[in-house]
Amino acid sequence: MKLSRPFMCAALALAVSSPALRAQQKPVPSANPVSQAIRDTWEGAKRNMTESANQMAEADYSFKPTDSVRTFGQILAHLAGASYLFCSAARGEKTPHEEDDFEKTATSKAQIVKVLNESIAYCDAAYTALTDRTAAEVVPMAFGGKDAARASALIGNVGHYQEHYGNLVTYFRIKGMVPPSSRR
């Protein structure tokens, strides 16, 4: 089979340019790859939560699939309070809020979204300031009674977000809704 000249030229141009294109598209490595990885997981976790908070209707903030679990809104309020514990440890500060502060006081969607966003902003500062060097520093934890690496508090916070996002996914599915991460 004889190939046409234009086809050969196009194939040759593609073969020559592909390595150059891949080299141009290769991301620049971070000077702090470990802390960047932690920040990246935080970005995904907080996106899932903020989109969940916004997607669920006000009337369904009181929904819970069974009496033995928190309502949709209580999960978000709990998450906001607990975030202060994790992130205050990472920031080397006394926590400004206890874990259950918002479950007791924030009851409407507007109140819950507000405290969730405020806790996210508080945590953003801890994730932004993190470097690979500071991630390894041992800090007192506001929970668990022992000291640990600063990264441990922030990884724990992301894990806590993911744990409760899993709860919220179930709530969405029971309500016949598609959760944010599946909608994308």
Instruction: Give the pLDDT score at 27.
Output: 67
Decide: helix, strand or coil at residue 108.
coil
Task: Please give the structure tokens belonging to residue 52.
Answer: 């969940």
> 30-183: what CATH class?
mainly alpha
Q: What is the pLDDT of residues 96-152, one digit of tens each?
A: 999 999 998 999 999 999 999 999 999 999 999 999 999 999 999 877 778 999 999
Alpha-carbon distance of 62 to 64, in angstroms, equals 7
- pLDDT category at 75 given cuts 50, 70, 90 is very high
Instruction: Give the pLDDT score at 101.
Output: 94
> Which residue type is seen at 95?
T
Q: What is the pLDDT of residues 81-96, one digit of tens each?
A: 999 999 999 999 999 9
Strand (E) or helix (H) holding 16: helix 5-25
Minimum mean pLDDT among 19-28, 118-127, 133-142, 174-183: which range?
Answer: 19-28
DSSP H helices, the chain, are 5-25, 33-55, 72-91, 101-105, 109-129, 132-135, 150-174, 180-183
